[in-house]
A and B are shown apart, each in its own frame.
Chain A
Amino acid sequence: MSLVDSMSMAKPNLESREKILSKLRGRDPVNCFQCMKCTSGCTALKLLELKPHEIEKLVNLGLVDELASSDIIWTCVTCLKCVQRCPQKASPYHVIMALRNLAVEREAKVPEAYMKAVSQILETGLAEAYQKITTRKMETCDRESLKLPKISGPKEGFQAAFLKALEERQA
């Protein structure tokens, strides 16, 4: 592709583009005609400035390197509105997920919260840790004080199986 981003002097990375496209069977960003419906309805736009249509276009043009190392791809809150409403079935959500995978592969900096979530799952087997809650009457309660049964840790071999599953998804 014979174009250069004059702002950053970035050149298209066709190899990475191909890699992303190959993971999106039937949901090609190449079909995107920039109607902006995804961005019009994007949950992460107003606070986090995620513009899915921009991501679609940049991937299309092969300008993926900057994207893969940017923070913006981690702002998607996976509400899937864009998947539902895209008239071209180009699905920005799936493109963003492919970009996140690419970022991890390149060992780019992944936001702490995501790493925390992964180690949380590895340790406890839960996506969300159970926590103490303060009520309106300023009482602190946890599972024990509410006499809820204890939650046991993950079964043996869970960590290995979880990591293996992650790897398989990568491939």
Chain B
Amino acid sequence: MTRIGVYVCHCGLNIAGVVDVEKVAKYAEGLPDVALAKHYTYMCSDSGQRLIQDDIEAHKLDRIVIATCSPRMHEETFRKAVAEAGLNPYLVEVVNLREQVSWPHSHEPEKATEKAKALVRMGVARVKLLEPLEKQKVSVEKGVLVVGGGIAGIQASLDLANAGFKVHLVEKSPSIGGRMAQLDKTFPTLDCSACILTPKMVDVAKNPNITLLTNSEVASVKGFVGNYEVSILRKPRYVDEGKCVGCELCTQVCPVKVPDKFNEKLSQSRAISIHSSHAVPKIATINPDYCLRLKVKKGKKDVCGKCLETCEAKAIDFEQQPENIQLKVGAIVLAVGSDVFDATKMPEFGYGRFPNVVSNIKFERISDASGPTGGKILSPKTGKLPKSIVFVQCVGSRDKRFHEYCCRVGCMVSLKQAILAREKLGGDVSIYVCFNDLRSFGKGYEEFYRRARDIDINFVAGIPSDIRMASDGSLYFDVFERGTNKLLEMHADLVVLANGLVPSDDIKRINELFHASRSADGFLLEAHPKLRPLECSTAGIFLAGACQGPKDIPDTVAQASGAAAKVMDLLSSGEIEIEPLKAVVDEDLCSGCRVCELLCPFLAIDMKKEGTVGREKLRAEVIEAMCQGCGLCSAACPTGAIQIQQYGSRQVLAQVDAALAEAQAKGGS
């Protein structure tokens, strides 16, 4: 005889403010096999959990239904509580009265209460048919793959390596450092970006626990949490990493000029080049799209080859081939970063047409001592010192035509750049910031804003509609200022656009490779915005930095260290428990049609040959550690042979019957 306990949670007023919880509890009491039904303010609290535990003992309950928030929130909490009272944790059913009832139906409390009753009725019907399950343990690989060598990837790698884990750091460009390496100074302390980043980059290269794979990309990912098999494609550099000493002689003789990506195309590098002055590793790389020998006459030895002649270390190797590296890792940290918004999409600001309209990342290169102007702020068109600079905020962000979100760094970047410009150009230059709302929310940021006002940086509350260029290359435009209610005509020698951060070009590939979902803004999606902000919904994959959403450096580093700590938590014991909610195959029913094998997104179905020779038959088998219990196979199986535990036809149909029971009683059909 089943004895079910039903618990209705008020969730403060979240549920009880709409749903009549007392009525629902009373109703549940009358359902078949329900031994008792109670309602309580917070079921997830200590006393709420104790209430269930005490009842299990006192009333010999053997099945529990909890009508509360989404099971994504507290199912695990309740399973643990029930297990402590000696009941199998999989005999709990969570009914969602918050996200599915009280929140969406807040304007119709009576109907909401009816829906709550129906959901509880379905839960009770289902819980009777649940079966006790045991968690399984699998051993894990202690290696970790970190994808992306920006400050996020660097921080996560160092933390993990220092804790004793083997780290493989994969970076697609020839050097680590990422976006931060391009910056001049950092807000709100005005530390030189290189001074705080370069030592960390060198630490990565020196750390014996870190294998650094630059100029490489992840090609494929197989496996599951604790046991991922990753294949890395190492693109050829055409330079022997063991021999090159980074003397840069080759870059002086190479005749092919190439726009320098690191300098945001403000200057030119050569077809053979070193990524940047503080690159790690400091090794030359040949760009095969531009190199005369590699591109023009593939393989013909008589073309160019000037670098080959000059290199004293004999490091140039035109025969280098792409290399495949296989890795086994237990966890993966995604730190692929973000891109800067392309302002040519906004023709009204003239970016791309007017040379003196620059993006904020270009300004960083102009202002950086290792940049094309040697740190002098010069107008790109005339090469002269600008007399007036205007910063325009919210370019491409907070804009429904492009990206609706706030870029979270634009205001602070412009404040910093305005301060740098004032410091470098002196008091005679007029500096304006045209803004919507100035958001200086972080620690020390508001003080930084005040510092900018102190040194006579002017703030104009309003955004120009369009920017025009005069014949001398200078820029002029109208801005309506909301403080004064006046239309101001502004003239500037240099306009800096506060371009926002956008998801990187690679994000789609990352999403496919790692089954890492994306949110509506295009960035990678965390498993829960508050309770699991560092994890992907796929187990064993973690997120760090701006690939999860636009972030400044302090937040990025904090998230990277957090993700590293989560990896340690996952891997340190050497084995992990995995959920038993898996697909199971009824061998007698399986016809071997292979539909499940084709559909499974996790490659968890293995087709086995059975029977005597000549009368062989294919049968599906589930690789339990890889199955995520998504249910695709079960829905598609034509014979009903494959079912998800706890979510088989038996349990689901019982719920459907319960859902329809009331309607039939009322004479519906």
> Are B464 and A41 in contact, with the CB atoms below 8 A?
yes
Chain A residue numbers with a CB within 8 Å of B464 are 37, 40-41
B477 to chain A, nearest CB (A): 8
Q: A40-63: which have CB < 8 Å to B?
A: 40-42, 45-46, 51, 53
Q: B423-438: which have CB < 8 Å to A?
A: 436-437
Chain A residue numbers with a CB within 8 Å of B110 are none
> Are B479 and A35 in contact, with the CB atoms below 8 A?
no
Q: Which of B56-64, B171-179, B398-406, B622-630 contacts A (4 or more CB under 8 A)?
A: B398-406
Chain B residue numbers with a CB within 8 Å of A38 are 465
B403 to chain A, nearest CB (A): 10
Q: Please name the residue on chain A nearest to B437 by beta carbon.
A: A33
Choose among B437, B461, B478 the residue with the greatest number of A CB atoms under 10 Å from its CB. Answer: B478
* Alpha-carbon separation in the docked complex, A87 to B398 (Å): 7
> Are A35 and B401 in contact, with the CB atoms below 8 A?
no
Chain A residue numbers with a CB within 8 Å of B348 are 41, 84-85
Is the CB of B466 closer than 8 A to any CB of chain A? yes
> Are A87 and B394 in contact, with the CB atoms below 8 A?
yes
* Alpha-carbon separation in the docked complex, A89 to B465 (Å): 14
Is the CB of A22 closer than 8 A to any CB of chain B? no
B484 to chain A, nearest CB (A): 11
> Are A35 and B466 in contact, with the CB atoms below 8 A?
no
> Are A46 and B487 in contact, with the CB atoms below 8 A?
yes
* Alpha-carbon separation in the docked complex, A81 to B478 (Å): 14
Chain A residue numbers with a CB within 8 Å of B462 are 35-37, 39-40
Q: A85-105: which have CB < 8 Å to B?
A: 85, 87-89
Chain A residue numbers with a CB within 8 Å of B398 are 33, 87
A24 to chain B, nearest CB (A): 14
Is the CB of A34 closer than 8 A to any CB of chain B? yes
Choose among B464, B465, B481 the residue with the greatest number of A CB atoms under 10 Å from its CB. Answer: B465
Within 8 Å by CB of A40, from B394, B401, B437, B478, lies B478
> Are B463 and A40 in contact, with the CB atoms below 8 A?
yes
B455 to chain A, nearest CB (A): 25
Is the CB of B480 closer than 8 A to any CB of chain A? yes
Chain A residue numbers with a CB within 8 Å of B482 are 34, 36, 53
> Are B400 and A36 in contact, with the CB atoms below 8 A?
no
Q: Please name the residue on chain B nearest to A34 by beta carbon.
A: B482
* Alpha-carbon separation in the docked complex, A46 to B436 (Å): 22
Within 8 Å by CB of B400, from A35, A45, A53, A89, lies A89
- The proximity string for B residues 454-480 relative to A, scoring 1 for CB distances below 8 Å and 0 otherwise, is 000000011111100000000001111
Within 8 Å by CB of B465, from A31, A33, A37, A51, lies A37
* Alpha-carbon separation in the docked complex, A142 to B464 (Å): 44
* Alpha-carbon separation in the docked complex, A38 to B479 (Å): 10
B246 to chain A, nearest CB (A): 46
- The proximity string for A residues 117-143 relative to B, scoring 1 for CB distances below 8 Å and 0 otherwise, is 000000000000000000000000000
* Alpha-carbon separation in the docked complex, A41 to B434 (Å): 14
* Alpha-carbon separation in the docked complex, A146 to B396 (Å): 53
> Are B463 and A37 in contact, with the CB atoms below 8 A?
yes
Chain B residue numbers with a CB within 8 Å of A51 are 480
* Alpha-carbon separation in the docked complex, A34 to B478 (Å): 16
* Alpha-carbon separation in the docked complex, A41 to B401 (Å): 18
* Alpha-carbon separation in the docked complex, A13 to B607 (Å): 70
* Alpha-carbon separation in the docked complex, A31 to B436 (Å): 14
Q: B485-503: which have CB < 8 Å to A?
A: 487
B92 to chain A, nearest CB (A): 44
B487 to chain A, nearest CB (A): 6
Chain B residue numbers with a CB within 8 Å of A39 are 462, 480, 487
Chain B residue numbers with a CB within 8 Å of A36 are 461-463, 479-482
B466 to chain A, nearest CB (A): 6
Given contacts A36-B462, A37-B463, A45-B480, contact A87 B437 (CB under 8 A): no
Q: Please name the residue on chain A nearest to B480 by beta carbon.
A: A39
* Alpha-carbon separation in the docked complex, A53 to B465 (Å): 12
Chain B residue numbers with a CB within 8 Å of A87 are 394, 398-401, 463
> Are B487 and A35 in contact, with the CB atoms below 8 A?
no
Q: Please name the residue on chain A nearest to B348 by beta carbon.
A: A85
* Alpha-carbon separation in the docked complex, A10 to B480 (Å): 26
* Alpha-carbon separation in the docked complex, A89 to B462 (Å): 17
Q: Please name the residue on chain B nearest to A49 by beta carbon.
A: B487
* Alpha-carbon separation in the docked complex, A57 to B394 (Å): 20
A32 to chain B, nearest CB (A): 11
* Alpha-carbon separation in the docked complex, A39 to B398 (Å): 18
* Alpha-carbon separation in the docked complex, A89 to B463 (Å): 15
* Alpha-carbon separation in the docked complex, A36 to B436 (Å): 8
A169 to chain B, nearest CB (A): 26
Chain B residue numbers with a CB within 8 Å of A34 are 436, 482
Chain B residue numbers with a CB within 8 Å of A88 are 399-400
* Alpha-carbon separation in the docked complex, A84 to B462 (Å): 17
Q: Please name the residue on chain B nearest to A41 by beta carbon.
A: B465
Given contacts A33-B436, A35-B463, contact A41 B400 (CB under 8 A): no
> Are B394 and A81 in contact, with the CB atoms below 8 A?
no
Q: Please name the residue on chain A nearest to B395 by beta carbon.
A: A87
* Alpha-carbon separation in the docked complex, A13 to B465 (Å): 31
> Are B466 and A41 in contact, with the CB atoms below 8 A?
yes
Q: A70-90: which have CB < 8 Å to B?
A: 81, 84-85, 87-89
- The proximity string for B residues 356-389 relative to A, scoring 1 for CB distances below 8 Å and 0 otherwise, is 0000000000000000000000000000000000
Chain B residue numbers with a CB within 8 Å of A35 are 394, 436, 462-463
B337 to chain A, nearest CB (A): 25
B471 to chain A, nearest CB (A): 22
Q: Please name the residue on chain A nearest to B462 by beta carbon.
A: A36
Chain A residue numbers with a CB within 8 Å of B477 are 40
A39 to chain B, nearest CB (A): 4
* Alpha-carbon separation in the docked complex, A38 to B400 (Å): 15
Chain A residue numbers with a CB within 8 Å of B437 are 33
Chain A residue numbers with a CB within 8 Å of B466 are 41, 81, 85
Chain A residue numbers with a CB within 8 Å of B463 are 35-37, 40, 87
Q: Please name the residue on chain A nearest to B393 by beta carbon.
A: A35
Chain B residue numbers with a CB within 8 Å of A81 are 465-466
* Alpha-carbon separation in the docked complex, A35 to B462 (Å): 5
* Alpha-carbon separation in the docked complex, A44 to B304 (Å): 62
Chain B residue numbers with a CB within 8 Å of A84 are 348
Q: Please name the residue on chain B nearest to A43 by beta carbon.
A: B465
> Are A40 and B479 in contact, with the CB atoms below 8 A?
yes
* Alpha-carbon separation in the docked complex, A124 to B436 (Å): 48
Chain A residue numbers with a CB within 8 Å of B436 are 33-35
Q: Please name the residue on chain A nearest to B402 by beta carbon.
A: A87
Q: Could you list 8 further interchain pairs (A-B, Cβ under 8 angstroms) beyond the known A36-B480, A37-B465?
A: A33-B436, A35-B436, A35-B463, A37-B463, A40-B463, A85-B465, A85-B466, A87-B399
Closest 3 CB pairs of A and B: A41-B465, A36-B462, A87-B399
Residues of B near any A CB (own CB < 8 A): 348, 394, 398-401, 436-437, 461-466, 477-482, 487
Residues of A near any B CB (own CB < 8 A): 31, 33-42, 45-46, 51, 53, 81, 84-85, 87-89
Can you list 6 pairs linking A and B with CB atoms under 8 Å apart? A34-B436, A34-B482, A37-B463, A41-B466, A41-B478, A87-B399
